[in-house]
Amino acid sequence: MTWTVDFERRLDARRMQGLLRRRITVDGPQSSRVQVDGRLYVSFCSNDYLGLANDRRLVSALQRAADRYGVGAGASHLITGHLAPHEDLEAALAEFLGAPKALVFSTGYMANLGVVNALSRRGDLLLEDRLNHASLIDAGLLARAQLRRYAHADCTEVRRLLSTASRGRTLILTDAVFSMDGDLAPLPELISLAAAHDARLIIDDAHGFGVLGDRGRGSLEQSAIPLVPPVIMMGTLGKALGTFGAFVAGEALLIETLIQEARTYIYTTAPPPALAAATCESLRIVREESWRRERLRAMVARFRRGAAELGLPIGESGTPIQPVIVGESKRAVAASRTLQSRGILVTAIRPPTVPPHSARLRVTFSATHTDEDVDRLLDGLAVALSECQA
Ligand SMILES: Cc1ncc(COP(=O)(O)O)c(C=O)c1O
């Protein structure tokens, strides 16, 4: 089969299953209002939970740092690409989290790949929740250790798998807030299990950092769990923090090991220093403006109340990720289109991102949405779901 025929067949197969993905081009900054093809929409699609992606204070911090440090870092961290704003950001993150050290990576995807591969060897065991984010799954697939996936949040299965571990060491990997469902991992139980088996627990708090906990430190703060071994925390900066990048936080020896051995940290150009400076400003706002988290909580409560009254099929989530489970991909796409025709953007999420027959509308809230936006979304969902079921 020629390459061209292969490409055509694969794309045709996707089209027929309703799995072809389309990008929309947003003309303007990320916000709860976005402009697409000249039309303004209320968007419930971004991970800009605190509404900081276009905050003028971040823009100014970025501009000031670009004036001073230029645009590109020009080299990897271990050559000459580690600039003062990177160092400042790592210190600020560690201080904010109450952790000894933090290490900034270019993206969350790279952080997950880097930490899992640096910490595991042939003969080790990796245990992963089935609903983990693709970056954690890929990290496990790339590692030389044996990968076992357990049923979602099933600590009984984790216990059983831990008892099968032979000579090597074990890493347990979990999303802290599951990205397509919004529910929380059973962190206290996983920590006890990890501690009892001399394993380490890597939590990916991409969707909790900045959002959960009174001070926005994330899922650990929400559950009053200290960031000490066996926990290793990964957080991203492109979601609630409104900028770009990621970090791993933990004890000093762990971070030094990652600097020496995490390939996605070593063999890549350091992120633009001005971005690190903008993230420092964002961290200051996250700390000081707790009203953004309160606003999110109020909106989630309003949405869930309204959805229950309308009988909408929402998942069990108390976070700003609120999935509306539709089932078949084509119906999810149809419902998303109906919402779009009413000026509302909600992405249809389909397999393989979610399990078969669980396609959904993934609603995400931002602190900049209004109560009226939530009510308009609820009305739109009621119409869109009844039409796609008809
Ligand atoms: C749970 C989770 N982990 C990791 C990532 C990857 O982070 P990044 O976008 O910084 O690569 C994402 C989403 O992007 C995510 O949802």
Whichever domain contains 136, its CATH number is: 3.40.640.10
Domain closes at, from 257, 288, 319: 288
- Tell me, yes or no, whether 96 and 181 share the same domain: yes
In a domain, 322, yes or no: yes
For 252-281, what is the mean pLDDT?
A: 98
- Tell me, yes or no, whether 263 and 342 share the same domain: no
- Tell me, yes or no, whether 229 and 353 share the same domain: no
Check if 108 has its Cβ closer than 6 Å to any atom of ligand 1: yes
Alpha carbon of 54 to ligand 1 centroid (Å): 19
Amino acid code (one letter) for 364: T
Alpha carbon of 342 to ligand 1 centroid (Å): 29
In a domain, 121, yes or no: yes
For 353-362, what is the mean pLDDT?
A: 93
Taking residue 256's Cβ as centre, other Cβ atoms within 10 Å add up to 12
More confident residue, 22 or 34: 34
Q: Looking only at Cα atoms, what is the longest distance across the chain?
A: 61
For 50-74, what is the mean pLDDT?
A: 98
For 135-161, what is the mean pLDDT?
A: 97
- Tell me, yes or no, whether 219 and 164 share the same domain: yes
Check if 174 has its Cβ closer than 6 Å to any atom of ligand 1: no
**Residue 102, pLDDT above cutoff 90:** yes
CB 120 within 8 A of CB 143: yes
What pLDDT score was predicted for residue 390?
63
Average pLDDT, the chain: 96
- Tell me, yes or no, whether 169 and 119 share the same domain: yes
Instruction: Indicate the pTM of the whole model.
Output: 0.96
Domain closes at, from 233, 254, 288: 288
In a domain, 116, yes or no: yes
334: domain CATH number is 3.90.1150.10
Domain closes at, from 234, 257, 288: 288
Check if 46 has its Cβ closer than 6 Å to any atom of ligand 1: no
Structural domains in the chain (count) = 2
- Tell me, yes or no, whether 370 and 298 share the same domain: yes
**Residue 166, pLDDT above cutoff 90:** no
In a domain, 10, yes or no: no
For 153-170, what is the mean pLDDT?
A: 91
For 28-49, what is the mean pLDDT?
A: 96
Q: Which domain holds residue 322?
A: 20-50+290-389
For 27-53, what is the mean pLDDT?
A: 97
Closest ligand 1 atom to residue 175 Cα is 1
- Tell me, yes or no, whether 218 and 154 share the same domain: yes
User: Which one of 116, 130, 179, 233 would you pick to mutate in the ligand 1 pocket, going by the greatest count of ligand atoms within 8 A of its CB?
Assistant: 179
**Residue 204, pLDDT above cutoff 70:** yes
Closest ligand 1 atom to residue 236 Cα is 10
Q: What is the DSSP letter of 169?
A: -
Give the tokens for residue 332: 């999810």
- Tell me, yes or no, whether 160 and 46 share the same domain: no
Check if 205 has its Cβ closer than 6 Å to any atom of ligand 1: no
In a domain, 7, yes or no: no
Active site residues: 179, 207, 239
CB 218 within 8 A of CB 209: yes
Check if 362 has its Cβ closer than 6 Å to any atom of ligand 1: no
Q: Where are the alpha helices (DSSP H) in the chain?
A: 3-16, 56-69, 84-97, 108-119, 134-142, 155-164, 187-196, 219-222, 252-261, 263-266, 273-288, 291-310, 329-341, 371-389
**Residue 167, pLDDT above cutoff 90:** no
What pLDDT score was predicted for residue 221?
98
- Tell me, yes or no, whether 295 and 280 share the same domain: no
- Tell me, yes or no, whether 357 and 271 share the same domain: no
Of the pLDDT bands very low, low, confident and very high (cuts 50, 70, 90), residue 164 is confident
Query: How many angstroms separate the Cα of 128 from the Cα of each of 18, 83, 173, 225?
Result: 29, 35, 5, 21
User: Percentage of the chain surpassing pLDDT 90?
Assistant: 94
Instruction: Report d(CA 190, CA 208) in Å as an integer.
Output: 17
Q: Which of 263, 350, 296 is nearest to 77 (CA)?
A: 263
CA dihedral over 177, 181, 182, 186, signed as positive or negative? negative
Q: What is the DSSP letter of 26?
A: B
**Residue 310, pLDDT above cutoff 90:** yes
- Tell me, yes or no, whether 62 and 110 share the same domain: yes
Phi-psi region of 26 (alpha: psi -120 to 50; beta: other; left: phi over 0): beta
In a domain, 149, yes or no: yes
What pLDDT score was predicted for residue 360?
96
Q: What is the DSSP letter of 165?
A: -
- Tell me, yes or no, whether 83 and 169 share the same domain: yes
Let me know if 202 is exposed, middle or buried by CB neighbors in 10 A (0-12, 13-18, 19+).
Answer: buried
Of the pLDDT bands very low, low, confident and very high (cuts 50, 70, 90), residue 31 is very high
Instruction: Report d(CA 202, CA 112) in Å as an integer.
Output: 9
In a domain, 165, yes or no: yes
For 114-127, what is the mean pLDDT?
A: 97
**Residue 368, pLDDT above cutoff 70:** yes
In a domain, 4, yes or no: no
